[in-house]
């Protein structure tokens, strides 16, 4: 690019230093144990995507008007809404897949919480007590355990982070569940008695 000229007409070449930071890194660690506690598989993959709702919440925090879509399809336009809060976070699992994770507003095929066929028993959400790491690399974790208490195999191929957001509408708190992070993973088949531990790790400056 030539200086003192029209920006649109010239290729832009880097003048400054090479990139140093990848930004925010999210990874997924998947661990499956059988009913006796033996590890059947464990692997870590990159997590792929925040959803548009995540970006919208980052903007709404400073008062921007955005539209957030809850998992039930309800669209919440934040114009005039001056208060909200986030009440909980949960990892959800499903058996579908999506090729456009950023635009997802719910899992494609959520696996219900329960001990029947095609269901998994959802454990409680756990999080790191604090930021961990050393140097410039810092991280925290969110994890949960899902147990197949049924007599049939259950397949998991998608994951998501869902936050419960409450908006103040006419002095009334209106709760909505909102998908803020979504991933597809290689299909995992959970035999009866198997337990799946899903750990999201968010890191800066890895």
Partner 1 sequence: MLIGETKGYDSDVLSLAKSSSLHNGLKSYYIVLVKDKDGRILDYRDGGLRSLTGYFLWLVANIFDLYDYGFYYPGINPLFYCGCNYTVTNGSYSIVLGSGSQTFSPNINKLAAPIPGASINPSITYNITSSGIPQIIFYGEYANNSSSPITVSEFGLQLTTKYCSSNITLSPLLTYDTLSQPVNVPVGGSISVAIVINLTG
Residues in touch with partner 1 (CB under 8 A): 1, 3-8, 12-26, 46-50, 52, 54-55, 57-64, 78, 81-89, 102, 125-131, 136, 138-140, 142, 161, 163-164, 166, 180, 202, 204-206
Nearest CB to partner 1, comparing residues 1 and 117: 1
User: Cα(20)–Cα(6) distance, rounded to whole angstroms?
Assistant: 29
Residue 151 Cβ, how far from partner 1 at the closest point, in Å? Answer: 33
Q: Which residues pair with 46 in a beta bridge?
A: 27
Report yes or no: 181 and 160 within 8 Å, Cβ to Cβ.
yes
Residues 6+ apart with CB under 8 A from 33: 39, 40, 194, 195, 197
Residue 164 Cβ, how far from partner 1 at the closest point, in Å? Answer: 8
Nearest CB to partner 1, comparing residues 3 and 39: 3
Nearest CB to partner 1, comparing residues 36 and 100: 100
Report yes or no: 140 and 131 within 8 Å, Cβ to Cβ.
yes
Nearest CB to partner 1, comparing residues 26 and 149: 26
Residue 168 Cβ, how far from partner 1 at the closest point, in Å? Answer: 9
Residue count of the chain = 206
Report yes or no: 68 and 53 within 8 Å, Cβ to Cβ.
yes
Residue 20 Cβ, how far from partner 1 at the closest point, in Å? Answer: 4
Residues 6+ apart with CB under 8 A from 133: 139, 203
Nearest CB to partner 1, comparing residues 35 and 64: 64
Residue 49 Cβ, how far from partner 1 at the closest point, in Å? Answer: 6
């Amino acid at each position: 690019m030539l200086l003192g000229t029209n920006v649109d007409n010239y290729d832009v070449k880097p003048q400054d230093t090479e990139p140093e930071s990848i930004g925010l890194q999210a990874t997924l660690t998947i661990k499956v144990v059988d009913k006796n506690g033996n590890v059947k598989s464990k692997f870590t993959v990159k997590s792929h995507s925040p959803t548009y709702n995540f970006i919208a919440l980052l903007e709404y925090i400073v008062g921007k008007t955005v539209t957030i879509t809850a998992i039930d399809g309800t669209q919440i336009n934040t114009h005039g809404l001056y208060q909200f809060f986030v009440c909980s976070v949960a990892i959800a699992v499903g058996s579908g897949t999506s090729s456009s994770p950023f635009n997802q507003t719910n899992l494609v095929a959520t696996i219900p919480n329960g001990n029947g066929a095609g269901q998994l028993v959802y454990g409680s959400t756990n999080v790191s007590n604090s930021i961990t790491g050393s140097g410039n690399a810092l991280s925290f974790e969110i994890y949960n355990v899902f147990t197949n208490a049924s007599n049939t195999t259950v397949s998991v191929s998608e994951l998501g982070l869902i936050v419960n957001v409450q908006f103040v509408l006419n002095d009334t708190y209106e709760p909505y569940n909102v998908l803020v992070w979504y991933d597809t993973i290689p299909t995992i088949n959970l035999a009866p008695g198997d337990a799946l531990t899903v750990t999201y790790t968010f890191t800066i400056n890895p």
